[in-house]
Amino acid sequence: MVKNLPNLKHLQYLLALHEHQHFHRAAQACFVSQSTLSSAILKLEEQLNCQLVERDNKSFIFTTQGEALVEMAREIILATGEFMAFAHFQGDPEKGELRLGSIPTIAPYLLPDLVQSCQQELPELSLFLKEDTTENLMSALANGDIDIALLALPVSPHNFKSKIVGRDAFFMAGDKQLVELYHQDHSYDNLPEQSIFLLSNEHCLTEHAVSACQLADASRINHFSASSITTLVQMTAYHHGFTYLPEMAVKKGVGMNEGLVVERMPDSMYREIGILWRSTSHRQTTFLKIAALIDKLLSNNNSLQ
C-alpha cells in the first residue's frame, strides 16, 4: 500500500494555481490565504520529491513534470467526484445533479423542452444548466465543471466520448425582396453587397451556416456581427437584410415574429447536434437517455416546413 498519499485539497490548490497562473488569484478561488496555498504546493513538492513550479521573486512557471502531474491530479479529482456521487446516490446514475452545458445558439430553443422531458422521463435527476461558447464548454467539461456538453458538430479534436443526436436544418430569413432575388437562380450574386448578416465568429453557427449554405462571396456579408440570434434577427429586419437561422429557433417563431420571410434551405444544408462527455464518467447510460430525448425533440422539428 502506498504511504504518505497527497492531500486531495492540496491537489485542488495545484489545479487552481495552474488555471489562474497566479498565486493570489488561485488562493482567492480556493477561499484560502496565499500563504496557505503556497505552503500546500511546497508540501506537495516535498511529498512527491519533485519540483512542480520554478519560482523567482516575481513570477513562476510550471516544470515539465509539474504540467504532467497537473493532468494526473485533474483525473484524480474528477474520479474522486465520481466516487462520491456514485456512493451518495447508491450507484444510480439517474439520480442527483447533472450539469449540462450548451452553446447560445442551442440553449434558448432546446433546453426548456429538454428540461420538461427530463422531468417526465428522469424525475430523480436535477439538471443544472450552463450557457457558453464551444471552446469554454469543452474546457469546462475537461475540468469537471460540467458533466455533458450539448454542441453543434464538428468541434476541434478532443478525447471525449460523443454522440450525434440529430440534425438542425438551416432556414433563410430576410426581407421579401431579397428572398425573391435569391430565388431567381438560387445565387447570392443577386443580393446587394453587405446585405447578409451573420453572428460573430465566436459562434460556430456562423461557420456551419457559411459552409452548409455555400456562401463564398464575402462582399455580401455585412461588417456588423451580432452577439446573439436575437440581435441578428433584429438587425436583419431593421436593415431589410438576409440571414440564416437554425430550425430549432424558427420553430419558436424567431424571424417570423419580426416580419421576415422565413423559408427552409435545401435538405443538404444543416448542422449536426451532438453531446460530449468524459470517457471516465460512470453515467454514460444517463447521457445516452438524454441523447434519446434530444433526438426526439429534434425529430419533432423536422416536421416544420
User: What pTM value is reported for the model?
Assistant: 0.77
Does 111 reside within a domain? yes
CA nearest neighbour of 217 among 250, 251, 242, 248: 242
Three-state secondary structure call for residue 92: coil
Same domain, 158 and 186: yes
Q: Are 125 and 95 contacting, i.e. CB atoms less than 8 angstroms apart?
A: yes
Q: What is the CATH number of the domain that holds 266?
A: 3.40.190.290
Domain end position, chosen among 68, 87, 106: 87
Neighbours of 98 (CB within 10 A): 22
Number of domains in the chain: 2
Same domain, 206 and 72: no
Left, alpha or beta for 186 (phi > 0: left; psi -120 to 50: alpha)? left
Domain end position, chosen among 46, 72, 87: 87
Strand partners, 171: 245, 264
Print pLDDT tens along the chain (305 aa).
566 888 999 999 999 999 899 999 999 999 999 999 999 999 999 999 999 999 887 789 999 999 999 989 988 888 888 788 777 765 667 888 899 999 999 999 999 999 999 999 999 899 999 999 999 999 999 888 899 999 999 888 888 999 999 999 999 999 999 999 999 888 898 899 999 999 998 888 998 998 988 888 889 999 998 999 999 999 999 999 999 999 999 999 999 999 999 999 999 999 999 999 998 888 899 999 999 999 999 987 555 54
Domain that holds residue 39: 8-87
Same domain, 50 and 75: yes
Same domain, 157 and 71: no
Same domain, 147 and 36: no
